[in-house]
Amino acid sequence: MATLCRPAVAVPEYVITLEDTLDLARRLHPEHPQLPLALRLIENTGVRTRHLVQPIEETLAHPGFEERNRRYEAEAKRRVPPVVRQALEHARLTPREIDLIVYVSCTGFMMPSLTAWLINSMGFRPDTRQLPIAQLGCAAGGAAINRAHDFCTAYPNANALIVACEFCSLCYQPTDLGVGNLLSNGLFGDAVAATAVRGSGGTGIRLERNASHLVPGTEDWIAYSVRETGFHFLLDKRVPGTMEPLAPVLAALAERHGWDVADLDFYLVHAGGPRILDDLCTHLGVAPEVFRFSRATLTEYGNIASAVVLDALARLFDEGSATDRATGLIAGFGPGITAEVALGRWTVPVTPHSFANTLIRSVN
């Protein structure tokens, strides 16, 4: 069975606080007729700090799409390798033991994908399969886990590497002044995350089932408008209410697996905003505390797009509360409106020493 191992997560060194964000909004848009509403919405996100790949003065300047994308490529090549090395170390794997690289990012474009550069520069085998995913937005973290699970199910002894690289600040558009855009300017942050999925062995979440679901008629609710100046983020005001149709999807998947979605041991959910998590609590019938990992990611890093679920997973590892065979759910939500959902159990490999101890306890 495929095991999702401990992730590595890194955020850039430039930090912007909630107070900085509010001050910038007041300074840049003093005459905006809906500024009070935008400020209130930003405050209500729960985001306290975010990390950026460049100083805020450079982030606010727009040198053009070409220069923005050049910066994306340079930052990805600088920041991804150390995260990948740490993730492989966590999983006790070498680059040559990886059979598939899933690279997810929606904040820049490269062709060939960064996967080709990683294979050439980090010692992965030339026959390593590549799966870049660029257009699932925040749902791509969940999709990457699911596609790695599928691959390791088809090839039981194979290993996969997942890399999420999101530099949301490089998509800032100074001319986009809708309330939704102003809110996004105070919500999204930058991060790189990576994790391995082992076909056998490893400590982490043993993936047992996955599913995808698209809410019909919502493909224009979260979107990019691609223009000369780059990616312009479009966010429909109906997006925060999407958990009402999606919560039953999560519940039904758990039920088909013989589980009660309201009675699992851990939940790793994409934190698009506080209302997403609050609504899930209501519709799934769970306590707010179960989403503590996702809330912590949102508070400390903001919405880091596809990297959210991997950061939430890292926090589960850090807490150390998961016991062997604990049940859990992973869910990413994004454009479509798309949900990528997985179910799994916490697993710790049986070593000869631990097996002997188990036998002794059972005899006694």
Query: Quick check: is 359 in a domain?
Result: no
**Cα gap 267→313, rounded to integer Å:** 9
Query: Quick check: is 89 in a domain?
Result: yes
pLDDT value of position 273: 85
Contact 346, 204 (CB under 8 A): yes
Is 79 found in the same domain as 28?
yes
Is 227 found in the same domain as 186?
no
Which value, to the nearest 10 degrees, does the dihedral of the CA atoms of residues 241, 47, 301, 102 take?
Answer: 10
The catalytic residue among 138, 152, 168, 171 is 138
**Domain count of the fold of the chain:** 2
Is 96 found in the same domain as 61?
yes
Is 211 found in the same domain as 107?
no
Question: DSSP class of residue 318?
Answer: H
Number of H helices, E strands in the chain: 12, 14
Is 192 found in the same domain as 232?
no
Write down which residue in 150, 182, 198 finishes a domain.
Answer: 198
Query: Quick check: is 303 in a domain?
Result: yes
Is 214 found in the same domain as 169?
no
pLDDT value of position 1: 83
Query: Quick check: is 31 in a domain?
Result: yes
| Residues 204, 207, 209: CA angle, nearest 5 degrees | 160
Query: Quick check: is 360 in a domain?
Result: no
Is 175 found in the same domain as 56?
yes
Query: Quick check: is 364 in a domain?
Result: no
pLDDT value of position 356: 47
Q: Is 138 a known active-site residue?
A: yes
Both structure tokens of 264: 């699992």
Query: Quick check: is 86 in a domain?
Result: yes
Is 239 found in the same domain as 303?
yes
Write down which residue in 175, 198, 221 finishes a domain.
Answer: 198
Query: Quick check: is 249 in a domain?
Result: yes
* Position 210, amino acid: N
Both structure tokens of 82: 């150390």
pLDDT tens over the chain, length 364 residues: 899 999 999 999 999 999 999 999 999 999 999 999 999 999 999 999 999 999 999 999 989 999 999 999 999 999 999 999 999 999 999 999 999 999 999 999 999 999 999 999 999 999 999 999 999 999 999 999 999 999 999 999 999 999 999 999 999 999 888 888 888 888 999 999 999 999 999 999 999 999 999 999 999 998 988 998 889 888 888 888 899 999 999 999 999 999 999 999 999 999 788 888 999 999 999 999 999 999 999 999 999 999 999 999 999 999 999 999 999 999 999 999 999 999 999 999 865 554 445 445 445 4
CATH number at residue 142: 3.40.47.10
Contact 20, 10 (CB under 8 A): no
Is 328 found in the same domain as 216?
yes
Write down which residue in 198, 215, 236 finishes a domain.
Answer: 198
Q: Which domain covers residue 12, as residue numbers? A: 3-198
pTM of the model: 0.93
**Cα gap 241→71, rounded to integer Å:** 35
Contact 279, 241 (CB under 8 A): yes
Is 178 found in the same domain as 97?
yes
Is 228 found in the same domain as 169?
no
Please tell me whether the peptide bond between 337 and the residue prior to it is cis, using omega within 30 degrees of 0. yes
Q: Roughly how many angstroms between the first and final C-alpha of the chain, as a whole number?
A: 31
**Cα gap 38→48, rounded to integer Å:** 16
Q: What are phi and psi of 295, to 5 degrees?
A: -65, -40
pLDDT value of position 353: 52
SS3 331: strand
Both structure tokens of 29: 């848009």
Contact 293, 268 (CB under 8 A): yes
Strand bridging mode 159-167 / 100-104: parallel
Is 285 found in the same domain as 225?
yes
Greatest distance between any 2 Cα atoms in the chain:
76
